[in-house]
Amino acid sequence: MNIGVFASGRGSNFQAILDAIHQRILTASVSLLLSNKSDAGALEIARAHHIPAVHVSQKQFSDEPSFAAAMVRLLKEHDVQIIALAGYLKKIPIPVVREYRNRILNIHPALLPSFGGHGMYGHFVHEAVIASGAKISGATVHLVDEEYDRGPIVIQKAVPVEKGDTPETLAAKVLRVEHEIFPLALQAFAENRVIINERSAWIQ
Ligand code: GRF
């Protein structure tokens, strides 16, 4: 199974996917790393692993349809079968969502549907969780549809929110769980063990 990884940042989830492939926890290959940020650490990780690393962003195109068409072309050229959004902060263009219906996975650093949606990313999520007084948080892998953070949930894992936690200490606990569950979700797709109906997805 060829994975196309999209990342905007340092790429620790991307690295976790590569580690899982190396450890044979994930039987797949990453055939493309795409980033909207030319200075993303994830691009460097891809280059170090001789994985095609492409900087592409909407700004390089005159309109969204041409951007979307270029993204689909790039995905097809690299024979991408599943897209993993590993800290990708841009909305996926509708034509791409349609072309890869039920084949785009996103990792979110909270237990959706709580603490999700537009603007809920990075430290904003953990600040909101702590401010809410919630006693657990965690990570979610979900399918991507036309709205932010709304598609069917595939896998989640919780972590405790402890007295004295800061957004940084909570982020660190959640990140460890992200690195664990994203490869598990991808392997379930690789083995065709994900049952998807309208609003939910279950790993068999
Ligand atoms: C992760 O916390 C992920 O949940 C969120 O963006 C962050 C990406 O971190 N979507 P990294 O670039 O994978 O280290």
User: Domain ranges in the chain?
Assistant: 1-75, 101-204
Whether 101-204 and 1-75 are alike in CATH topology: the answer is yes
Condensed to tens digits (0 to 9), the pLDDT of residues 153-191 reads 999 999 999 999 999 999 999 999 999 999 999 999 999
- Kindly state the average pLDDT of the residues 68-95: 97
**1-75 maps to CATH 3.40.50.2300:** no
The torsion defined by the Cα of 52, 92, 118 and 129, in degrees rounded to 10, comes to -50
129 and 116 Cβ atoms separated by less than 8 Å = no
pTM confidence score: 0.97
78, 108, 126, 179: the active-site residue: 108
What architecture is domain 101-204? 3-Layer(aba) Sandwich (3.40)
* Residue with CA nearest ligand 1 atom 10: 87
Summary mean pLDDT of the chain = 97
What is residue 147's predicted lDDT score, i.e. its pLDDT? 85
The reply to whether 108 belongs to the active site is yes
Q: Say yes or no: CB of residue 109 within 6 Å of ligand 1.
A: yes
* Residue with CA nearest ligand 1 atom 1: 87
Helix (H, G, I), strand (E, B) or coil at 166: coil
- Kindly state the average pLDDT of the residues 85-100: 96
Condensed to tens digits (0 to 9), the pLDDT of residues 26-38 reads 999 999 999 999 9
**Cis bond before residue 113 (omega within 30° of 0):** yes
Helix (H, G, I), strand (E, B) or coil at 10: coil
